[in-house]
Every structure is written in C-alpha cells, then in structure tokens.
C-alpha cells in the first residue's frame, strides 16, 4: 500500500514543475487578453423610475410599504419589458443594423434588463449596446415610453369612469326633466287652490242652509203653538204657513244631503290630488338631490383625473456610459489566471499519484520475487 500523503514531497514535486505551471498561467492570461481585446465592447446605461402611490393616499400607509404591495409593483416591469415596446424601440433607433437579424426575444434578453430594486419603489431599466449613446437613448426611451403607457392606462380608466358618471348624470337629468314636466302638467290639470276655495264656499253655504233649517224648524214649532191658541179661521192660515215651512224644511234637508255628498267627493278628490302632488314632489326632490350628488362626484372624478393609480416618474434618465460593461478585462484575466493555475496543478497531482502507484506495484512485485 502506498505511503500516506506527504505534504513536503507534494510541494517539492510541484516546485519541480513550476515552469509548466507558470507557462500555463501565462498562456491562459495571454489567451484571455487576446479574446477580450477582440470582443466587441458593450456599454450599459441605466434609467430609473420611481413609482409613487396614488394621490390622496395616507402618507403613513404610503411609507409603510408591505411585501404584498412591493410584489404588486412588479406589474410595471411588464410595461418596460413588453415585446411591442421593444420592437418599437428597435425600429426607432434602427438597432437591427448593428445587432443583426436575431429573433426579437433573443435581442431583448441580451439588450434589455428590467427590475424593481429590492425593497424599494424604484424601477431600473438597463440597456446594453455597442454604442454608449444609443444605450443611454434606448434606456431613456424605454423609461419614457413606460411612463406614457402607464399614464395612458390611468387616463383611459379616468375617461371610462368620468364617461360612466356623465352617462348617469344625463339619465338622472332626463328623469328630473320628466318629473318637472309632470309637475307642470299636474299644476295645470289638477289644481288644488280652486278646489279648496270651492270647498270653503260649500262649507259656508252649508252653514247658511243649516241656519235656515233651524229657522224653519222654529217657524214650524211656533206655528204649532199659535195654532192651539188661534181661532178656527186663523188656525187654517197658520196650518198653511206651517205646511209651507215644512216644505222648505224638506227642501233644505235635501240640499244639505247634496252639499254633504259634494263635500265628500271634493274631499276625496282633494286627498287624491294632494297625495299625487306629495309623491311627485318627493320624486322631484329626490331627483334634485341625486343630480347634486352626481355633479359633486363628477367634479371629484375630474379633479382626481390622472392621480387615481400609481404615478411613474423618471428620476434618472441615465448618462452616457464611459466604461464598457463587457467584456470585463480584470475579471476575465483573473478567471484565466485561476484556470491556468488550477488545471496544471490538478494534472500534476494526478500524475504524481499515478507515479507513486506504479512505483508501489513494482516494489511489491520485486518483494514477492
């Protein structure tokens, strides 16, 4: 069995191979340097958008940002990373000429990066292109287009809301106009004042007839008393007067019955007209209150237009990058150096192990012989 691992012998073995290791590192660094210098320099520009809460939101609740709210803000990542918006940017800046005819999905993955900064309301849009000026212009264009898209969506929602309220206002105004027309027609076709005046006149007439009834009854009673004390010729005359009084009394009683019947009919008609008028007046007042409430709501909706949803505002349009984001020369050289160091060490470690095993097998064979 081979001896256990000997660190000194291992280090000595590696020291004897240092030229190979150094050559490997040098070749790897030189190759990485050459490849890096031959690669096209890419520049990354970053534009930033702040997502502000809707206007009128309590500042305390706006400051207390919840994870659910932050998760919902990722919706705006889709605004800036939509395929249609990226295609529009490609056509606007004529990027096909410099990026080739690759599929738009592949171009977007290599050129555009959109994301919400962790635990913030900041949306970052990164654009990577060979031309630093175009990279900055593209990032700014995508940010501005995202803001305009959000503004158009909020504006469309406001227009739909205001349009719905305006439609309600027109319907309520039309209903109020119908009630006003009915009210005007009611005042002309169902007068109340004239009917009340007629009832008052009928009441006065009834009081007069009742007084006449009382007078006729007194006259009949008086005639009966006088007839008892009168002579036969005078008694005949008195009976004649009493008969006339009874006839008038019967006629006045019939007149009272007619007046009572007319009064009952007038009271019923007056009650119907007053009930109809009260109902129509209540509907009229309710419609007026409804139109006032809708007008107030419409004013508020128009005043809040554009501030109902989250507002996107560009806080950093980005600058023209002065250093390329790729290739990263220091990183590439460091990785090449590490790879040039690890690979030969691994190779020589395996070689040393193989040699030790070969020596051990030859030694064991010689002992047995």
Average pLDDT over residues 24-34: 86
Tell me whether residue 73 is in a domain.
Answer: yes
Tell me whether residue 2 is in a domain.
Answer: no
Q: Which of 59-73, 160-174, 349-363 has the lowest mean pLDDT?
A: 59-73
Output the average pLDDT for the chain.
Answer: 82
- Indicate the DSSP class of residue 326: B
Domain boundary among 267, 286, 303: 303
Percent of the chain clearing pLDDT 90 (strictly above): 13
**For residue 1, what pLDDT band results from cuts at 50, 70 and 90?**
very low
**Number of neighbours of residue 68 by Cβ within 10 angstroms:** 7
Determine the Cα–Cα distance for residues 142 and 136; give it in Å rounded to an integer: 10
Q: Is 16 found in the same domain as 151? A: yes
The pLDDT, as a whole number, for residue 187 is 82
| Residue in 323, 316, 314 with CA at minimum distance from that of residue 132 | 323
Higher model confidence: residue 217 or residue 47? 47
The pLDDT, as a whole number, for residue 6 is 67
Q: Hey, what are 53's tokens?
A: 């809460």
Q: Is 155 found in the same domain as 14? A: yes
* Contact residues for 213 (Cβ-Cβ < 8 A; gap 6+): 249, 252, 253, 256
Kindly compute the dihedral angle of the four CA atoms of residues 212, 215, 220, 223, in this order, to the nearest 10 degrees.
-140
Tell me whether residue 17 is in a domain.
Answer: yes
The dihedrals phi and psi of 17, each to the nearest 5 degrees, come to -110, 20
- Structural domain containing residue 271: 174-303
Q: Is 179 found in the same domain as 155? A: no
Tell me whether residue 114 is in a domain.
Answer: yes
269 pLDDT higher than 80: yes
The pLDDT, as a whole number, for residue 153 is 82
Tell me whether residue 366 is in a domain.
Answer: no
pTM attached to this predicted model = 0.58
- Tens of pLDDT, residues 204-247: 888 888 888 888 888 778 877 777 776 777 777 777 877 887 88
Q: Is 38 found in the same domain as 124? A: yes
Q: Is 188 found in the same domain as 120? A: no
Q: Is 348 found in the same domain as 288? A: no
Q: Is 84 found in the same domain as 45? A: yes
Tell me whether residue 164 is in a domain.
Answer: no
Number of separate domains in the chain? 2
Q: Where are the alpha helices (DSSP H) in the chain?
A: 7-16, 18-38, 59-63, 67-72, 75-80, 83-93, 96-99, 104-111, 132-189, 193-229, 232-303, 329-368
Q: Is 328 found in the same domain as 272? A: no
Residue 225, domain CATH: 1.10.287
Q: Is 76 found in the same domain as 148? A: yes
Determine the Cα–Cα distance for residues 74 and 79; give it in Å rounded to an integer: 9
54 pLDDT higher than 70: yes
Q: Is 148 found in the same domain as 28? A: yes
Tell me whether residue 102 is in a domain.
Answer: yes
Tell me whether residue 271 is in a domain.
Answer: yes
321 pLDDT higher than 70: yes
The pLDDT, as a whole number, for residue 368 is 63
The pLDDT, as a whole number, for residue 250 is 86
Q: Hey, what are 292's tokens?
A: 């006032």
Q: Is 203 found in the same domain as 139? A: no
- Indicate the DSSP class of residue 123: E
Q: Is 295 found in the same domain as 336? A: no
The pLDDT, as a whole number, for residue 137 is 93
Q: Which of 98-102, 155-159, 344-348 has the lowest mean pLDDT?
A: 98-102
């Amino acid at each position: 069995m081979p001896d256990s691992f000997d660190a000194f012998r291992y280090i000595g073995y590696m020291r004897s191979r240092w030229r190979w290791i150094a050559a490997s590192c040098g070749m790897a660094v030189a190759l990485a340097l050459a490849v890096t210098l031959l690669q096209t320099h890419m520049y990354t520009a970053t534009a930033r958008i702040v997502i502000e809460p809707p206007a009128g939101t309590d500042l305390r609740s706006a400051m207390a940002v919840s994870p659910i709210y932050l998760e919902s803000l990722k919706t705006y990542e889709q605004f800036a990373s939509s395929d249609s918006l990226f295609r529009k940017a490609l056509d606007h800046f004529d990027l096909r000429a410099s990026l080739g005819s690759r599929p738009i999905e592949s171009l977007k993955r290599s050129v555009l990066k959109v994301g919400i900064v962790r635990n913030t309301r900041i949306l970052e849009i990164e654009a990577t292109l060979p031309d630093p000026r175009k990279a900055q212009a593209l990032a700014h264009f995508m940010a501005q287009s995202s803001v305009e898209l959000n503004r158009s969506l909020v504006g469309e929602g406001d227009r739909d809301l205001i349009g719905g309220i305006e439609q309600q206002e027109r319907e309520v105004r039309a209903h109020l106009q119908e009630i006003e027309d009915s009210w005007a027609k009611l005042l002309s076709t169902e007068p109340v004042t004239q009917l009340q005046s007629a009832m008052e006149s009928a009441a006065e007439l009834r009081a007069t007839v009742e007084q006449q009834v009382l007078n006729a009854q007194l006259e009949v009673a008086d005639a009966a008393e006088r007839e008892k004390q009168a002579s036969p010729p005078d008694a005949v005359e008195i009976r004649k007067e009493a008969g006339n009084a009874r006839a008038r009394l019967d006629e006045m009683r019939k007149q009272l019955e007619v007046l009572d019947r007319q009064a009952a009919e007038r009271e019923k008609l007056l009650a119907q007209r007053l009930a109809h008028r009260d109902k129509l007046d209540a509907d009229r007042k309710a419609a007026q209150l409804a139109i006032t409430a809708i007008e107030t709501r419409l004013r508020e909706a128009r005043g809040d237009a554009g501030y109902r949803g989250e507002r996107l505002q560009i806080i950093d349009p980005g600058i023209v990058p002065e250093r390329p984001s790729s290739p990263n020369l220091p990183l590439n050289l460091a990785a090449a150096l590490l790879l040039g160091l690890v690979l030969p060490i691994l190779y020589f470690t395996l070689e040393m192990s193989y040699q030790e095993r070969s020596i051990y097998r030859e030694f064991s064979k010689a002992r047995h012989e």
